[in-house]
Amino acid sequence: MIEGPGRPALVGTILFGLCMGLLLFLRLLPLSTGLTGWPGPDLGLCLTLAWVLRRPDQLPAPAIALVFLVEDLVLLRPVGLWAVAVLLGSEAARLREHRWRGQPFMVEWLRVALLIGAMMLGYRIVSLLFLVPVPALGQVILQFLATTMAYPLVVVVARLLLGLRRITPSEAEMMRYKG
C-alpha cells in the first residue's frame, strides 16, 4: 500500500507555509518613508534554500511552487517566473544535498550564493527576452548581496526558532529506504 507523507513532513510543510506567509505579510507592511535606497534581502528565498538543505524530506516541490506563485501574484511580478526560478534552484540544491551534507558551512554558503546568483540571472534574462520591465542592474546586484549576506542569519534563526537542523546520516538512510 502506498503511504502518504508522514506526520513530520506534513508538519514541516505547514510550518514552512506559515513562515512564508508571515514573511510576505511583513513585506507588504507600509514601513518605508517613501524613498527606497538599498533593497532588502529575499528572506523567503533564504528560508527555502536553508529548509531544502537541512530537511529535504519536509518540503515538497509543489509547496515551494505554490508559495512562490502566491508571492508572485501578491507582489505583482510576472506570474510564475520567479516561482519557476526558485523551484529549479531549490530542486538543484535538493539533488546535491547529500553531497553538501558533510561540508563546512562556508562551502554551503558559497554554493548557495552561486545558486542565488544563477537564479537571479536566469530570471533577469527571461524577463529581458519577453520584454518585461526589469529593475536596474545595480539594484539587483545589491539585492543579491543582501540576500547572500542574510543567508547565515536565516539559518541561525531557523535553527533556534524552528529547530531546523541538518539530517543525520542515519535519518538519510531511513529516508532512502522509505522512498
Q: Which three-class secondary structure string do you get for 101-123?
A: CCCCHHHHHHHHHHHHHHHHHHH
pLDDT surpasses 90 at 108: yes
C-alpha cell at position 94: 535538493
C-alpha cell at position 86: 526558485
pLDDT at 159: 94
pLDDT at 1: 41
pTM for the whole thing? 0.89
Burial class (CB within 10 angstroms; exposed 0-12, middle 13-18, buried 19+) of 56: buried
Is residue 83 within 8 Å of 72, Cβ to Cβ?
Answer: yes
C-alpha cell at position 50: 536553508
Return d(Cα 152, Cα 148) in angstroms, integer. Answer: 8
pLDDT band at 36 (very low <50, low <70, confident <90, very high): low
- Mean of the per-residue pLDDT values of the chain: 89
pLDDT digits (tens, 9 = 90+) for 151-167: 999 999 999 999 888 87
How many whole angstroms from its chain centre is CA 84? 12
Query: What integer is the mean pLDDT of 83-98?
Result: 93
- Phi and psi for 34 in degrees, rounded to 5? 120, -40
Report the first-to-last Cα separation within the chain, whole angstroms: 13
pLDDT at 81: 95
